[in-house]
Structure 1
């Protein structure tokens, strides 16, 4: 079997199962463990996976700070934000997570009917300062500066009394087996809490967030109502999300 074929099989296993156990992969592919371990080392050097004892895990995305992420906001995120904003209906309450993609939602929100925006992000609230029809509710608490969102017991208590129609969730990674994840324990907890209080949860994804895993799990992908996805992703990578019953909108 060619090296490229072996590596493709390893990547397929990683996407399908969320991990590669070298011993199991060797048995499944009828190869030696030494061969699999050598391939895993090479693939880790190429940035295709992350080596762990006994095998490999999906890559963990870098976590640039909020200011750095603002600087790389792109046309892709503007398209994602516009598609999300178009889902909002008159009289609804939506909850906007922190982040650069959700900032694009705030900028694209309709201006010809009234609705309510709740957020635990002061930067998102500031985006809506001059919006003519949006009522804005800002949740307070301990500020997690990396993402510029409020976390902790005070924020959780305020959110518990809300029932948003749609929560637009921000994540750093999405994997069909390992779920939706982010880089901070407290941030993951509050995202999970907002979703539990909301009628629907929608996440916006760029291609680089697919098949990746960050340290702290928010919830399984099956807990989502839908995904607004950057166009151009291989259909094989999207198939597990569709199989989970999710509406995947490509823009």
Structure 2
């Protein structure tokens, strides 16, 4: 009986003393490890591929042999497509750079010749095949608080590029057989678009205004040139990052 009474007394003392002891003990809050926010892939190389449709426009065509007139206004757009690939580097600060090679095909840009003594009168149409080589720079900016197109976020971009266009042309029209020619010209581009960053893969869709300084037929019989040619393109692009 004495032992039982002693055990009850010890238990009671422990119940009374526990709150006092707990009050005297220092409190250490639990440590929660919060991972850093991912603001995008830093310093990544990437490969890219693009495809899109285009509309081609120029103000006029110059035909030196088209006496008495030598300059003829265009009267219809040309339509076609482009596909391309490139390699680039993104800094992780919103800036990225790449070099691209695109194959551009376009048909039906046309002019109507009338009153010429040396060129068959009627509608003449241009078939253009170009290889476009450009060095480009872009700035990506987050949409909806997504940082620099951070992984899992939407982004917008603007860009510009410069390089060369390697042009091959065929003209179709009444009179003489089709004429062919080649030339190399300065080219430049301005880009704007939106996309989504999935992390390893980035996809975007955008508009590119591609400027070709001159498209020429160097054939001696019926030479012609088309200055200040613009290709208005809507393109989709996929980038794959190498970390």
Q: Normalization by structure 1: what TM-score?
A: 0.24
Compare the two structures and name the one with the higher helix fraction. 1
Q: Normalization by structure 2: what TM-score?
A: 0.24
Higher RCO (CA-CA < 8 Å; seq separation 6+) = 2
Compare the two structures and name the one with the higher strand fraction. 2
